Amino acid sequence: MSEGAGGEAKPQQEPRRVLILDDDEATRLLLRETIGGLSVPCKIHETHDGNAAIELARRERPDLALVDIVLPGSSASGVLVCRELCRDSRTKVVVVSGQASESVIQAALAAGAVAYVRKPFSVDDLRAKLAGWLGG
C-alpha cells in the first residue's frame, strides 16, 4: 500500500490484464511498447495462435484483448476468438487488423468487439484509446 495525502494508506492499483493476439511478432512488440507507455499498470499476455489465446483468456480473464483477425497457421480464426472472448463480460475485445475485409470486421463487431483499429496505426492515437478502454 502507498500513502495518500494526509498519510492514510491507499490500495495500489491492480494491474490490468491485457491479451495480445497477433501472428506478427513485430506487431506484438509494438503493441507491448504502446501499452507500456500507459500510466495504468498492465500485465500483458500474448500469443500468435487463436486457440492459445482462448486458453489464455479462460485462465487469465483479461480486461482487454487486442485481436488480429487474420491468423495464418492458426486453426482458430480471429472472429472465432473474438466470439469466445466476448462471452466473458469482463473482457473488452478490440480488433487490430489491416487485412480484414469489411464483412469480417462487421462479424467481429457483431460478435461483441468494442472497436476496430486498422493497421498501421498511430501509436499516440492507440495509446489514448487504450487508456480509455483500460480506465487509465
Cβ atoms of residues 76 and 31 within 8 Å: no
The one-character DSSP state at 82 is H
- Cβ atoms of 19 and 68 within 8 Å: the answer is no
pLDDT of residue 102: 87
Distance between terminal CA atoms of the chain?
19
Cell of 3: 500513502
Structurally, what CATH architecture does the domain formed by 15-124 represent? Answer: 3-Layer(aba) Sandwich (3.40)
Pairing between β-strand 16-21 and β-strand 64-67 as defined by DSSP bridges: parallel
Helix axis angle for 102-110 and 78-85, nearest 10°, is 20
Query: What was the pLDDT predicted at 104?
Result: 85
What pLDDT score was predicted for residue 6? Answer: 52
Q: Would you call 21 helix, strand, or coil by DSSP? A: strand
Full DSSP string of 89-129: TT-EEEEEESS--HHHHHHHHHTT--EEEESS--HHHHHHH
What is the predicted pLDDT for the residue at 99? 76
Mean pLDDT split into 10-residue runs, the chain, 136 residues: 49 88 97 96 96 96 95 86 94 90 88 94 96 88
Give the start-to-end residue ranges of the domains of the chain. 15-124
Task: State the pLDDT at residue 65.
Answer: 98
